[in-house]
Amino acid sequence: MHKKHAIIIGAGPAGLTAAYYLLKHTDIKPIVLEKENFVGGISRTMNFEGNRMDVGGHRFFSKDENILKLWNELLPAQGAPALDDKILGRESVLVDGGANPEEVDEVFLNRRRVSRIFYRRKFFSYPISLSLQTILNLGLVEMISIGASFLKAKFSQREEKTLEDFMVNRFGQKLYETFFRDYTTKVWGRTPQEIGADWGAQRIKGLSLGKTIVDFFKKTFGSKEGAGETSLIERFYYPKFGPGQLWEKLADEVKKLGGEVLLSSNVKSFHVDANKIIKSARVETAAGMLTFPADYFLSTMPLKELADALDDGLNLRQITIARGLPYRDFITVGLLVNKLKLKNLTKIKTLGDIVPDCWIYIQEPSVKLGRLQIFNNWSPYMVAAPENSVWLGLEYFCTEGDELWQMNSEDFINFAAKELTSIGIVDAEDVRSGVQVKVPKAYPAYFDTYENISELRGALDEIQNLYCIGRNGQHRYNNMDHSMLTAIAAVCAIAGKFSKADIWKINAEKNYHEEKKS
């Protein structure tokens, strides 16, 4: 018998994890309110004529045992070769007694991670590394210039106030200008001089040209100790039908355990009493405006929306900080093509001999395209006909209301296809069809009023039964596992095991990042 209730706003990774943990570890009944008609948030999977699209690209990797345990509770590990491995005779990483993806749908595939940079119509390793290919692509003279610039930066470190300072300190001025400055501006719509160093400390932590060189020599001479910083992992887990499959499974488990997951339920406001306790939420539903009273409220909604919804919960300055928090919005185009124009010059065998990349960072200055996903390589089951077609995801970073955002769907798909042909990735006659998806507030950004976010956090923590979790709920560029950990920490705080401050510490430590274990 549930004695208390919790309202959870948002059915993404954090919201669903919070609901699951409340049901598993407390007697509190969760009611998840999701404004969209699907679960998973930005980690959802969309289906277009039998071709599935991972909106944003989501590798399943974590160092945290609690996260790995939960994932394994939901989907069994792979125990037999996937379709492409089977056809090509590729080596697979399998688990004894695991599931056969050719026979069952609920399975976590173990996939090879290949990501590269596409620049000057050539492939570079990602993150950029010291390799023979890099030297050949850039030329010896430019590599010497990059090395000299790096050494200069090591002996004249900048005070790290901006992202530019952070990057120059780790890569040198020349490499920063070659690979980081313009691409960062494309992604964030601001130059690195306008972005705080916090972003780098969170997303590029542990990486530098020096460590990349060390990693190169350790691999070359057979040493694995200490190798593998962020983005250097070589394999990852992935649901057979994309990330949304796991979140749909978790939503089903929440309902089986007695929780509720209500879609198309948009929280519009909260009633906060004089003691800084939320008494209820007003929710827009298909049945009209409804009131949901509860004992606890866990929010993954963007902080600017939360601030506006808290009746008398915040003062004007705190609301102003929240309203000024910036986001980068996102448009992705799913493009079905017959084949790629790019040649596979790697030693990795693939269906159709396409390039083996999961995604490619497009750093060509002539196009607005930011990143290219090849869904065939994430999972062959994402594609209706993986042996004779290629299913691509073209990712654009924009701001809601700008020129890209306002373009109608058909024009945008044509624009995206033309960009792809202009840089030699496909031929126009090989494009079959496409679909466009818009994702507002996809990436919390670290500029404008972000420098005052600690004031806002403190005010939100004073609301006794409110817990902010997840990427947008904390305005922090979290990976999926970090978002899930904030949810677990919130449940522990409700149970009296953690403080609210502990929730905000997730992914704040500079030494917590995605890396291989030696």
pLDDT (tens digit per residue) in 231-248: 457 899 999 999 999 999
**Cis, peptide link before residue 127, omega less than 30° from 0:** yes
pLDDT value for 202: 63
pLDDT value for 518: 38
Q: Is 58 exposed, middle or buried (0-12, 13-18, 19+ CB in 10 A)?
A: buried
CATH class of domain segment(s) 4-37+263-325+446-505 = alpha beta
Instruction: Give the whole-angstrom CA distance, residue 334 versus residue 271.
Output: 42
The CATH architecture of the domain made up of 327-444 is Alpha-Beta Complex (3.90)
Question: How is the chain split into domains, by residue range?
Answer: 4-37+263-325+446-505, 127-220, 327-444
pLDDT value for 123: 96
Three-state DSSP at 387 gives coil
- pTM of the shown model: 0.92
pLDDT value for 496: 95
Instruction: Give the whole-angstrom CA distance, residue 70 versus residue 59.
Output: 16
Instruction: Give the whole-angstrom CA distance, residue 445 versus residue 326.
Output: 5
Sites in the chain below the pLDDT cut of 50: 217, 219-221, 223-231, 510-518
Q: CB pairs under 8 A, 24+ apart, for 143-149?
A: 145/174, 146/172, 146/174, 146/175, 146/178, 146/209, 147/172, 148/174, 149/173, 149/174, 149/175
Which residues, other chains included, contact 46 with Cβ-Cβ below 8 Å and sequence gap of 6+? 52, 53, 55, 244, 334, 435, 437
CB atoms within 10 A of CB 260: 15
Q: Which of 317, 319, 312 is nearest to 269 (CA)?
A: 312
- One-letter amino acid at 165 equals D
pLDDT value for 396: 98
